[in-house]
Amino acid sequence: MRYGARAAARHEARLLWAGNPGLYALLQAARHTAPIQRFPRIGWVVTDPVLARRVLNDAAGFGMSGEGGVGHLWAQLFGPEMGALFGGARHAELRARARDLFTEEGARTLVERAQGGHYRMLAGRLADGETVDVADATRVLAGRLVADLLGMRLDSPTDDAYRGIFAAGERLAGLAMGTTASTVLPAERIRRARAIVGDITRGVEEGYRTAGPDTILGRCREMGLGLPLTRGLATLLAIAGTETGASGTARTVALLHDTGQQAALLADPGLMPGAVREGLRVTTPAPVIGRAVMTDAEVGGRLLRAGERVLLMTYLADNAVGPFDVRREYVPETRQLWFGAGRHLCLGAAVARTQITRMLETVTAAGPYRIVARRPARRVLVPAYSALRVRAEG
């Protein structure tokens, strides 16, 4: 490994350790095991990208709603109907209705409308020689995106208000921590989670009544989804793309710097899609995906029984091909496993890619940039920077 690659890997390892020591330990333990292996108290652990995709593509055999799946967590907060939205015909209908909001073109429009001005402001500050905290900016930007997607009307749309939206989503996601061994939530956690949901979805009732058809809330109304389920979906969106998006964006800025590869990108802007893809692959902001085994199934020569759980270690699967390299070709084994696969493949993939692209364009607009300080976030669901201060080399 070159020095830059080693430094980058060290910073990434520190983030994982500081953010989620349990996850870090599991990743270390699973790193050198068989492609699929059974762990006491945890269940099946898959580290191979092809086997992971095989599980994700078999929606009948591996569900989200049973113990071990994220739908199980949501059903405890919003009732069984919400759990049911994670599979079956209703899920397919929802995705089909929302699809055009999340195409490449839809993503560009959304990101420009919700965040465009903020990127320009950041680029201006860097050009003026100021130091910018990219990690903080990604939280503000994520709050802006959620507010726009959900048609929220903020009393005072300040950076602090947007940070507040991010923080509420982060607190809610934090309540899911410690569910690696079981997704059954204790009553106290459910109570706290419902209070946060109430906070995040304050504006949803009005939005559900009045938002236009080009918004998620308007689409929910047109489908006759009902207010409770719409609140559930709004919460899901507020969480799904928030921490993951912020984490992936700031970490890609750091990787590009730490590996010394920003010079290559500056010399050839055509490398941008590769830089974004590599950032997503190496950071894999959703490092583990859980599923419940619904029917007995054979995976990689092992027999998985109905009722068991399986954890797909996407972080390990994605990273197996090697370190961050903006010139790396598309890797067919992993495809875009960082966004999952199959019927739950990330709906916001184009939005996530657009956000990272916009941020990389922003930090390189005034030439090479330098990281002057950084701090990992502690005890978070998604490993991330709490601060990443950069300035233009000038």
Between residues 383 and 392, which has the closer beta carbon with respect to ligand HEM?
A: 383
Cα-Cα-Cα-Cα dihedral sign, residues 280, 284, 253, 120: positive
- Shortest reach from residue 236's CB to ligand HEM, in Å: 6
- Shortest reach from residue 188's CB to ligand HEM, in Å: 25
Between residues 95 and 125, which has the closer beta carbon with respect to ligand HEM?
A: 95
Q: Which residues contact 106 (CB under 8 A, 6 or more apart)?
A: 100, 350
- Shortest reach from residue 339's CB to ligand HEM, in Å: 5
- Shortest reach from residue 29's CB to ligand HEM, in Å: 21
DSSP E strand stretches across the chain:
36-39, 43-46, 62-63, 132-133, 289-293, 297-299, 302-304, 309-312, 369-376, 385-392
Between residues 142 and 326, which has the closer beta carbon with respect to ligand HEM?
A: 142
- Shortest reach from residue 147's CB to ligand HEM, in Å: 12
Cα separation values, 382 from 18, 173, 204, Å: 11, 9, 26
Q: Which residues contact 147 (CB under 8 A, 6 or more apart)?
A: 114, 154, 157, 162, 165
| Tokens found for residue 354 | 């657009």
Q: Which residues contact 191 (CB under 8 A, 6 or more apart)?
A: none
Between residues 45 and 347, which has the closer beta carbon with respect to ligand HEM?
A: 347
Between residues 44 and 339, which has the closer beta carbon with respect to ligand HEM?
A: 339
Residue 251 φ then ψ, to 5°: -70, -35
Interface residues with ligand HEM (CB under 6 A)?
Answer: 70, 95, 237, 240-241, 244-245, 248, 280, 285-286, 289, 338-340, 344, 346-348, 351-352
- Shortest reach from residue 245's CB to ligand HEM, in Å: 4
Between residues 95 and 163, which has the closer beta carbon with respect to ligand HEM?
A: 95
**Bridge-based pairing state of the strands 43-46 and 309-312:** parallel
Between residues 237 and 292, which has the closer beta carbon with respect to ligand HEM?
A: 237
| Tokens found for residue 186 | 């204790």
Task: Evaluate whether 283 touches 247 at the Cβ level (below 8 Å).
Answer: yes
Between residues 204 and 392, which has the closer beta carbon with respect to ligand HEM?
A: 204
- Shortest reach from residue 144's CB to ligand HEM, in Å: 12
Task: Evaluate whether 148 touches 162 at the Cβ level (below 8 Å).
Answer: no
Q: In whole angstroms, what is the distance from residue 258 CA to residue 262 CA? A: 9
- Shortest reach from residue 344's CB to ligand HEM, in Å: 4
